[in-house]
Amino acid sequence: MTDIALVTGANKGIGLETARQLGQRGIQLLVAARDQAKSEAAAAQLRSEGLDAQGLVLDVGSDASIEHAAAEVAARHAKLDILVNNAGVLFDDPDLTPSQQELDVWRRTYAINLFGVVAVTRAFLPLLRKASAARIVNLSSILGSLTLHADPGSPIYDSTMPAYNSSKSAVNAWTLSLAHELRDTPIKVNSVHPGHVKTDMGGQRAPMAIVDGARSSVAMATLAADGPSGSFTHLGKTLPW
Ligand SMILES: NC(=O)c1ccc[n+]([C@@H]2O[C@H](COP(=O)([O-])OP(=O)(O)OC[C@H]3O[C@@H](n4cnc5c(N)ncnc54)[C@H](OP(=O)(O)O)[C@@H]3O)[C@@H](O)[C@H]2O)c1
């Protein structure tokens, strides 16, 4: 049976490219975006490239949308092999210090980057359990590394965006919790740092092309049975928590 992958925030950036690269491996794609027009446009683009892609409306910040999407996928498919929790937001104001960031920024960031990931995973876990060996990939960031933030010599020491950074630290903690829960199953759950990638979020001065920014997610989404679970990596290299 063909493998099926769901990628959130797949209408642009790293998510769209992750879906493309999974599709190029013969995997059936559920191209999720918060807006129907965006999800359909991205799925149509991937179909025009010869890939097997269907749009799916999924706003990871809405319980109703998540519930509706999970019911729709369950009605159409008997299982889900790959879930890539890719959707993410960055709202911190770079001109403010950590203590000056508005509380609303923290709330809106956590709603998508953490609660969205947890809620989507919970909703799709029953279908993931029906696959023979599902893979869950959580898009974290090197900016979620507490070890590197504590090191004045690290390249991210001055990247203080507290809401975004700590939301990714929390994603890493969630990855470990879920990997622990699923440790006696064939399901693997891992966090990845995609790199500093040229997207709307990463900015045009970012050093990494989108095609390379998707590679860490694709690698973890297609892990062999002897691959890790509960890891935090970038292009196969382990990052410090
Ligand atoms: N780019 C980098 O350098 C970098 C570095 C480290 C980690 N990351 C992580 O990689 C992931 C992808 O980032 P990117 O650079 O590709 O960012 P991007 O180009 O800004 O794309 C973000 C995606 O998330 C979607 N999204 C936002 N809120 C959503 C919601 N409520 N429901 C569903 N989808 C939603 C966006 O949809 P809309 O188009 O509708 O807004 C878009 O598809 C993120 O988790 C990010 O934190 C990126």
47-59 tens-digit pLDDT:
999 999 999 999 9
Q: Is the dihedral of CA 32, 9, 26, 238 positive or negative?
A: negative
The DSSP element (H or E) to which 30 belongs, if any, is strand 28-33
Read off the amino acid at residue 90: L
Percent of the chain with pLDDT over 70: 100
User: How many CB atoms sit inside 10 A of residue 157's CB?
Assistant: 12
What mean pLDDT, rounded, does the chain reach? 98
Max Cα-Cα span within the chain: 52
Query: Both tokens of residue 36?
Result: 């129907």
For the CA atoms of the chain, what is the radius of gyration?
A: 17
Percent of the chain with pLDDT over 90: 100
If we measure between CA atoms, which residue out of 219, 218, 139 comes closest to residue 175? 139
Span from the CA of 6 to the centroid of ligand 1 (angstroms): 15
Please tell me the distance from the alpha carbon of residue 116 to that of residue 162, in angstroms, as a whole number: 18
The DSSP element (H or E) to which 83 belongs, if any, is strand 82-85
Please tell me the distance from the alpha carbon of residue 53 to that of residue 82, in angstroms, as a whole number: 14
* Lookup result for tokens 């050093």: 207
Regarding the beta carbon of 197 and ligand 1, being less than 6 Å apart is answered: yes
Residue pLDDT, tens place only, 177-203 = 999 999 999 999 999 999 999 999 999
Mean per-residue pLDDT for 78-105?
98
Regarding the beta carbon of 200 and ligand 1, being less than 6 Å apart is answered: yes
Q: Which of 40, 83, 193, 201 to mutate to test the pocket of ligand 1 (most atoms within 8 A of CB)?
A: 201
Residue 136 has pLDDT above 90, yes or no: yes
> Given this model, what pLDDT does residue 39 score?
98
- Nearest ligand 1 atom to alpha carbon 197: 3
C-beta of residue 111 within 8 angstroms of C-beta of residue 63 = no
Torsion of CA 31, 197, 134, 85, to 10 degrees: -60
Q: Is 168 a catalytic residue?
A: yes
Residue 42 has pLDDT above 90, yes or no: yes
Please tell me the distance from the alpha carbon of residue 197 to that of residue 179, in angstroms, as a whole number: 27
Residue 1 has pLDDT above 90, yes or no: no
The DSSP element (H or E) to which 35 belongs, if any, is none
Residue 165 has pLDDT above 90, yes or no: yes
Say how many CA atoms lie within 13 Å of 202 toward its Cβ: 21
> Given this model, what pLDDT does residue 177 score?
98
Residue 160 has pLDDT above 90, yes or no: yes
Mean per-residue pLDDT for 89-114?
98
Span from the CA of 86 to the centroid of ligand 1 (angstroms): 6
Say how many CA atoms lie within 13 Å of 220 toward its Cβ: 34
Span from the CA of 171 to the centroid of ligand 1 (angstroms): 14
Helix ranges, the chain (H): 13-23, 36-48, 63-76, 103-113, 115-130, 146-149, 162-181, 210-213, 215-221
Q: Which of 38, 79, 157, 168 is catalytic?
A: 168
Span from the CA of 96 to the centroid of ligand 1 (angstroms): 22
Residue pLDDT, tens place only, 206-235 = 999 999 999 999 999 999 999 999 999 999
Residue 4 has pLDDT above 90, yes or no: yes
Q: Is 157 a catalytic residue?
A: no
Residue pLDDT, tens place only, 142-156 = 999 999 999 999 999
